[in-house]
Amino acid sequence: MCAPFGHDASSAIALLQNAGYAAKALAGLSDVDALLDERVGALLLTEEALRHGDSGLTRALEAQEPWADLPILFLTAPRSRSASWQTEHVRFRLPSRATNVIVLERPIGAVSLVSAVASALRGRRKQYEIRDSIAAQKRAADKLDELVKERTRDLEQALLQLREEVAERERAEEQLRQAQKMEAVGQLTGGIAHDFNNMLTGVMGSLDIIRRRIDSGRLDDLDRFMTAASTSAQRAANLTQRLLAFSRRQSLDPRAIDVNGLVRSLEELMLRTIGESIVLRLALAERLNSAVADANQLESAILNLAINARDAMPDGGALTVETRAVQIEPGEQFEDRDLPAGAYIVITITDTGVGMSKETIKKVFDPFFTTKPIGQGTGLGLSMVYGFAKQSGGQAKVSSRVGQGTSVSLYLPSAGSSFVQAGAVQPVGQLIADGDGERVLIVEDEDAVRQVLREALNELGYRTEEAADGPAALRLLTSETRFDMMISDVGLPGMNGRQLADEARVARPSLPILFVTGYAENAEMRAGFLGANMSMITKPFTLETVAEKVRSMLAVDTPPASRTIDLDRAPRAD
Residue type, 76: T
pLDDT of residue 331: 64
pLDDT of residue 428: 37
pLDDT of residue 54: 78
In 3D space, the residue among 359, 339, 346, 347 whose CA is nearest the CA of residue 309 turns out to be 347
Render pLDDT for 8-32 as a digit per residue (tens, 0 to 9).
888 888 999 999 999 988 888 887 6
Instruction: Report CA 127 to chain centroid distance, whole Å.
Output: 67
> Count of alpha carbons within 13 Å of 300, Cβ hemisphere only?
29
Who wins on pLDDT, 569 or 374?
374
Rounded to an integer, what distance in angstroms lies between the CA atom of residue 428 and that of residue 431? Answer: 9
Q: What is the DSSP letter of 379?
A: S
3-state secondary structure of 443: strand
Q: Residue 18 belongs to what H/E stretch?
A: helix 8-18
pLDDT of residue 97: 83
E strand segments, 27-131: 43-46, 72-76, 101-105
pLDDT of residue 148: 93
Banded pLDDT at 146 (limits 50, 70, 90): very high
In 3D space, the residue among 268, 249, 243 whose CA is nearest the CA of residue 425 turns out to be 268
* Weakest mean pLDDT among 132-141, 181-190, 364-373: 364-373
pLDDT of residue 66: 85
In 3D space, the residue among 346, 550, 323 whose CA is nearest the CA of residue 432 turns out to be 550
Percent of the chain with pLDDT over 70: 79
Average pLDDT estimate for 437-465:
87
Please answer whether residues 529 and 485 qualify as being in contact, where contact means their C-beta atoms are separated by less than 8 angstroms.
no
Rounded to an integer, what distance in angstroms lies between the CA atom of residue 394 and that of residue 124? Answer: 87
Sorted by sequence, the CB contacts under 8 Å of residue 308 that are 6+ apart come out as 381, 382, 408, 573, 574
pTM, two decimals, is 0.44
> Count of alpha carbons within 13 Å of 204, Cβ hemisphere only?
6
pLDDT at 568 over 60: no
Average pLDDT estimate for 542-563:
67
pLDDT of residue 372: 54
Rounded to an integer, what distance in angstroms lies between the CA atom of residue 502 and that of residue 488? Answer: 12
Render pLDDT for 473-530 as a digit per residue (tens, 0 to 9).
999 998 888 999 999 988 888 888 888 998 898 889 889 999 888 764 444 444 556 7
Rounded to an integer, what distance in angstroms lies between the CA atom of residue 246 and that of residue 380? Answer: 8
Helix ranges (H only) for 216-344 are: 222-246, 259-265, 267-274, 295-311
* Weakest mean pLDDT among 2-6, 119-123, 403-407, 440-444: 2-6
pLDDT of residue 562: 32
* Weakest mean pLDDT among 207-211, 213-217, 365-369, 511-515: 365-369
Q: Residue 56 belongs to what H/E stretch?
A: helix 55-62
The residues that bridge with 442 in the sheet, in sequence order, are: 466, 487
Maximum CA pair distance of the chain? Answer: 160
For CA atoms 340, 341, 342, 343, give the dihedral sign: positive
The average confidence (pLDDT) of the chain is: 79
Please answer whether residues 41 and 121 qualify as being in contact, where contact means their C-beta atoms are separated by less than 8 angstroms.
yes
pLDDT at 197 over 80: no
Render pLDDT for 235-279 as a digit per residue (tens, 0 to 9).
777 666 666 655 545 556 678 889 999 898 888 888 888 888 899
Residue type, 36: L
Render pLDDT for 60-74 as a digit per residue (tens, 0 to 9).
888 888 888 899 998
The residues that bridge with 348 in the sheet, in sequence order, are: 322, 409
* Weakest mean pLDDT among 77-86, 206-215, 230-239, 399-408: 77-86
pLDDT of residue 336: 47
pLDDT of residue 557: 42
Banded pLDDT at 185 (limits 50, 70, 90): low
Render pLDDT for 406-430 as a digit per residue (tens, 0 to 9).
998 989 998 864 434 343 333 333 4
Rounded to an integer, what distance in angstroms lies between the CA atom of residue 265 and that of residue 424? Answer: 5
Who wins on pLDDT, 297 or 351?
351
* C-alpha separations of 37 from 33, 55, 131 in Å: 7, 18, 15
Structural domains in the chain? 8-108 (3.40.50), 135-246 (no CATH), 255-413 (3.30.565.10), 439-569 (3.40.50.2300)
The residues that bridge with 409 in the sheet, in sequence order, are: 348, 397
Who wins on pLDDT, 191 or 50?
50
Rounded to an integer, what distance in angstroms lies between the CA atom of residue 415 and that of residue 111? Answer: 110
Who wins on pLDDT, 187 or 562?
187
